Structure 1
């Protein structure tokens, strides 16, 4: 004689598939009300976070946090000048080159490609340059633009330190010769200068 279990007398629905029956277990009331409440809440959430008010969206909050983090980073190095010595020095500092890379990927890949291989703009990974004769010219092109506006100026959109660091990053791309659909453009120019090492401080006697 088979043992009767609590499930034998449990209510079932009228559904049956190949002899498999379905218990009639409705969703708990609290779950249904939670679902209704989420639907009622959603338009208020949308209006608050996506209604156009500055600083409320996740993207705006991320931008604010990123800007604050950038300010903290720049406090370590002060104000940088886009001169030869500074660019040659910072292109050999991996941590700061990564900051320049993030600026590049946020602003430059639509024209120069994700790796600098060139799209609308020229290939930055070969040895040929159109508007650059020395390392300082990289920053000048970023600051002032070039090509009659084909390369826009970024002086009004980037922090001066961001310009220096993205210039240093672009300088590191030279000679990687990433495969590109753009041929050589411009002239082959002399190598970048070697970085000048900071002289150690002499302790006071």
Structure 2
């Protein structure tokens, strides 16, 4: 105990030691700094595919591919979007796409930031459910809304469109003021199916008539 160094402070008769850190502890700290340099160079400045972001994107793409095998390629039409608005498990996939790519402009809950509020009844470039998928795919407002058609799978576009449509009417607190004009409510699933059947019937009649 005679070799121990005291700090010189005393609290209620209690003194504390002021011994230096062990040498191995200091060298471990230095080694972690040196290791971090090589780690950063390897994973963030090396060949493509090494970074954690590249690996995450690759794994996410594989999981998504396996999931989409269950449902095939979706059509970005009204009936399909309505169908997946009612499917909680697939709607969560659309929510993940939204939170990955859309929150910086539209807010975490769709309340609007640079982009418009998605939780009210006013829209600038949308008149029906299919327009949501079109805007996501092709973009709008001279590029202010980027086109995601070349970056997202068509199923991701349909599912994120379903999620965006599901946000309508939530009117979250602190949301951005409405932009554009109010539009009629979304149709029910039954109405969309009947409309789709009518269009298919008209198409069949046109083929027979020609």
User: Take 2:185 and 2:161, find their aligned partners in 1: how far apart are those partners?
Assistant: 15
From 67, 74, 85, the equivalent of 1:80 is 74
Q: Which residue of 1 aligns with 2:204?
A: none
Partners of 1:129 and 1:186 within 8 A in 2: yes
For 1:111, what is the secondary structure of its paired residue?
A: helix
User: Take 2:105 and 2:79, find their aligned partners in 1: how far apart are those partners?
Assistant: 28
User: Take 1:121 and 1:24, find their aligned partners in 2: how far apart are those partners?
Assistant: 58
Q: Which residue of 2 aligns with 1:71?
A: 65
Change (3 A) 1:56 1:78: same
User: Take 1:90 and 1:136, find their aligned partners in 2: how far apart are those partners?
Assistant: 13
User: Take 1:130 and 1:185, find their aligned partners in 2: how far apart are those partners?
Assistant: 6
Deviations 1:153-175 (A, max 9, x none): 11011111110000000110111
Partners of 1:11 and 1:24 within 8 A in 2: no
Q: Which residue of 1 aligns with 2:117?
A: 123
- Aligned length, in residue pairs: 189
Q: CA deviation at 1:129?
A: 1.6
Gaps of 5+ in 1: 1-6, 199-205
Q: Which residue of 1 aligns with 2:208?
A: none
Q: Output aligned runs, 1:16-165, within 5 Å.
A: 16-18=8-10, 20=15, 22=17, 27=22, 31=25, 34-165=28-159
TM-score by length of 2: 0.77
User: Take 1:39 and 1:178, find their aligned partners in 2: how far apart are those partners?
Assistant: 46
Deviations 1:4-30 (A, max 9, x none): xxx5xx632365433736386862x65
* Structure with the higher fraction of residues in helix conformation: 2
Gaps of 5+ in 2: 194-210
User: Take 1:33 and 1:63, find their aligned partners in 2: how far apart are those partners?
Assistant: 36
Partners of 1:123 and 1:180 within 8 A in 2: no
Partners of 1:127 and 1:188 within 8 A in 2: yes
TM-score by length of 1: 0.79
Partners of 2:6 and 2:18 within 8 A in 1: no
